[in-house]
Amino acid sequence: MPYGEKTKEELLEYADQIFDFFIKKGAKAVVIACNTMSSVVYDIIRDKYDIKIYPIIQSVAGVIAQLPVKKIGVFATPATISSNAYKKEIEKYNQKIEVFQIACPEWVRIVEENKLNQPQSIVQVKEKLDEMFQFNPDKIILGCTHYPYLLDILQKFAPANMFIDPSIYFAEFIKDDLIKNDLTAVSCGSEEIYVSANPESFKQSAKMFYKLQKTPDLIVFD
């Protein structure tokens, strides 16, 4: 990590390894929660695997496009911005909405390294927000899974309801679609968590969003 600064070729290699792993595990559906992966690799791999795939950007764009707004800003990683994914997907549903995008590569590290309260972090976030305000957006999409953790900083300079956390729409979309396609579980399941590096570090970082019962298992791809 961060994925947002990887090349398209690197991301495709990661995706193939991860999907092959999930298929061996018998997965019936895979959620691409990462905006970068959703924007760069989904269109390439979507027909490659015979399982249900949920990409975050493509899944929520239709809902966002129906919001009563004229201008939407997007904060995302360099890879997501370069792909133009949010703009293209939103315009499929509503060509009247203007979309303005800004890459924020340093924001992932602020969250990962738990520097949320450091003065320099606040300055870096405000600089990007000031740049976005030149566009005068009605709403701003936090187009990376890390960015909603910066809301405490962002709310110092703008109303909380200005920001869109796409994961909220995404979770509802997945739930509704699983029910529609009769893919919901009939009983409570279990969870297995794997990481490709630094299990202990991941367990510590994960505390901000989920209490892991045990240290994740390390998986090494060939």
Q: Which residue has the tokens 């009605």?
A: 138
Range of lowest pLDDT (33-37, 130-134, 206-210):
206-210
Arithmetic mean of pLDDT, 7-26: 93
In tens, the pLDDT along 104-144 reads 999 999 998 889 989 999 999 999 999 999 999 999 999 99
Return the CATH number of 3-57+170-218, one of 3.50.50.60, 3.40.50.1860, 3.40.50.970, 3.30.70.2860.
Answer: 3.40.50.1860
The answer on pLDDT for 29 being more than 80 is yes
Angle CA 131–81–90, to nearest 5: 95
Instruction: Assess whether the region 3-57+170-218 and the region 59-166 belong to the same CATH fold.
Output: yes
Confidence of residue 28 (pLDDT cuts 50, 70, 90): confident
Share of the chain above pLDDT 70, in %: 100
CA 69 to chain centre: 22
- By annotation, the residues acting in catalysis are 34, 144
Q: Are 105 and 1 in contact (CB under 8 A)?
A: no
Q: Would you state the structure tokens that stand for residue 166, as one six-digit string?
A: 């796409």
Listed by start position, the domains of the chain span 3-57+170-218, 59-166
pTM of the model: 0.91
Average pLDDT over residues 159-173: 96
What is the pLDDT, as a whole number, of residue 113? 87
Q: What is the pLDDT of residue 137?
A: 98
Out of 3.30.1510.10, 3.30.70.100, 3.40.50.1860, 2.60.40.10, the CATH code matching 59-166 is 3.40.50.1860
| pLDDT at residue 204 in the model | 86
Looking at every residue in the chain, the average pLDDT score rounds to: 93
Q: For the segment 56-106, what is each residue's pLDDT rounded down to a tens digit? A: 999 999 999 999 999 999 999 999 999 999 999 999 999 999 999 999 999
CB neighbourhood size of 113 (10 A): 11
